[in-house]
Amino acid sequence: MAKDSEMLVKVENVSKVFKLPHEKLSTVKQHFVNIFNPKSYEKFKALDSVSFEIKKGEFFGIIGANGSGKSTLLKILAGIYQPTSGKVTIAGSLSPFIELGVGFNPELTARENVFLNAAILGLSKKQTEEKFDQIIDFAELREFLDQKLKNFSSGMQVRLAFSIAIQAEADILVIDEVLAVGDSVFQQKCFDVFYKMKKEGKTIIFVSHELGAVRDFCDRVLLMQHGKVKTIGAPNQAILQYLKLNSESEEQKLTTSKSKNEKSIINSVASLDATGARKNVFDFLEDMVFEVKLNKLGKKSINFGIAIYRADNTYCFGTNTLLDKIKITSKEKFRIKYTRPNLLPGDYYLIVAVFGDTDKQILDYKEKVLTFKVFGSGFGEGVVNLKHSWETHE
């Protein structure tokens, strides 16, 4: 960031409390009848003293689980809601919408909707006319100009909406979840637009669940949790923390369901990093260690098998002590270490099994005993990044 970069958006201690009445009073009679009864409502704190700043020319990402307060925060930034306490200062103009295609009417044609939507976004008729061709060409909807919008697919509608939205004249652009719909070709077009905007030094607030895009574009990322700011920082750091938050809650689920099964041999499986610290989210370049604890089972000799599956049930890799010709010496605890497994970023789970002298004699079998994520810039397609190098001959 340049030294003279000015603060464009300044959010200071913003809180937002919603009063959720148990029974909404919306007629005079109801109010009259209820004059003597104390009104009953629940207070819900959607935002809890949120503070942050956005500099000029910054690509600022906001991530967080559903219900973490992202939308409320955006609505306050856009001026749709008023904060209960705290202050929002915005130098310059901010695109006032938080959703694409606001005011689109299915009964109107694409052409009419362009003019209506552009007017809602604050464009004059002349400006819209000047940009009309650009909008239609970007959306690739020229043949459908005079079709009613209700005959459009949802992807076509989003394309049209996005094309208009990027024409809105504002110093700060808010982009909320545009990548959720639309095919990969259109997504690529959106990315190109983002790159261009970034180059032009536009200030953009980007809200998305598409973590890859957040990582690629954002300069800084704000992670929201339960209406509070959890972290503001470099994209990688914030995303990693977000993924951890998610997997923590998953792990809790797993341990509770396990305790019921007392007879089982496998007590628990944990994922660790190379130093032995518990970890559910691995960087692409990291070593992975799984620690298995067994319930006491006397002198029986056992073998152990472990398989890594991707979330879409692709079998990635499996091995067992029989194949590797290993004897489990400790009957309580042992580890298996994968050095640089090179698994591509994604969600994975483990299946583990304990068996006797042959793999037909299954003593215990646990599906999805543990889930973990791989994150980072693992380029390539498929399941793993096989170690490779290129040689060219002239």
Partner 1 sequence: MKKTNLLNLTLQLALTDFKLKYSGSVLGYVWSLVKPLLLFGVLYVIFTYFFSLGKGIPNYPVYLLVGIMFWAFFAEATMSGMHSIVSRGDLIRKINFPKFVIVLSAITTSLLTFALNLVIIFVFLFASHVIPDYHALLILPLVFELVVFILGLSLVLATFFTKFRDFSHIWEVVLQVGFYAVPLIYPVIFIPEALRWVIMLNPVTQIIQDARWSLISQDVLTTWKMMGMPLAFLAPTIVVVIFVFGLWFFNISAKSFAEEI
State the CB neighbour count (10 A cutoff) for residue 221: 26
Provide the 8-state DSSP code for 105.
-
Q: Give the residue, chosen from 33, 80, 180, 297, that forms a contact with partner 1 under the rule CB under 8 A.
A: 80
- Cβ closest to partner 1, residue 123 vs residue 135: 123
- Cβ closest to partner 1, residue 105 vs residue 385: 105
Binding piece for partner 1, criterion CB under 8 A, among 27-35, 208-216, 282-290, 350-358: 27-35
* Footprint on residues 83-142 left by partner 1 (CB under 8 A): 96-99, 102-103, 105, 107-108, 112, 115-116, 119-125
Binding of partner 1 at residue 82 (CB under 8 A)? yes
State the CB neighbour count (10 A cutoff) for residue 376: 17
The count of C-alpha atoms lying within 13 angstroms of the C-alpha of 93, restricted to the half-sphere facing its C-beta, is 9
**Which of 149, 206, 154, 205 has its CA nearest to residue 182?**
154
In angstroms, what CA-CA distances link 111 with 64, 155, 191, 368? Answer: 36, 17, 25, 51
Shortest Cβ 336–partner 1 spacing (Å): 51
Distance CA 325, CA 320 (A): 8
**Whether 17 contacts 44, CB under 8 Å:** yes
Binding of partner 1 at residue 171 (CB under 8 A)? no
Edge-to-edge strand ranges of the sheet holding 41-55: 41-55, 7-21, 85-90
- Cβ closest to partner 1, residue 208 vs residue 231: 208
Phi-psi region for residue 95, left (φ > 0), alpha (ψ -120 to 50) or beta? beta
State the greatest distance between any 2 C-alpha atoms of the chain, in Å, as a whole number.
Answer: 92
Binding of partner 1 at residue 27 (CB under 8 A)? yes
Print the binding letters for residues 59-78 with partner 1: x by CB under 8 A, - otherwise: ----------------x--x
- Cβ closest to partner 1, residue 2 vs residue 28: 28
Beta bridge partners of 337: 289
* Footprint on residues 240-259 left by partner 1 (CB under 8 A): none
- Cβ closest to partner 1, residue 72 vs residue 163: 72
- Cβ closest to partner 1, residue 106 vs residue 155: 106
Element (H, E) at 210: none
**Whether 306 contacts 319, CB under 8 Å:** yes
- Cβ closest to partner 1, residue 50 vs residue 118: 118
3-state class (DSSP) for residue 359: coil
Binding piece for partner 1, criterion CB under 8 A, among 23-31, 219-227, 230-238, 251-259: 23-31
Binding piece for partner 1, criterion CB under 8 A, among 22-30, 177-185, 201-209, 210-218: 22-30
Interface contacts to partner 1, rule CB under 8 A: 18, 26-29, 31, 75, 78-82, 96-99, 102-103, 105, 107-108, 112, 115-116, 119-125
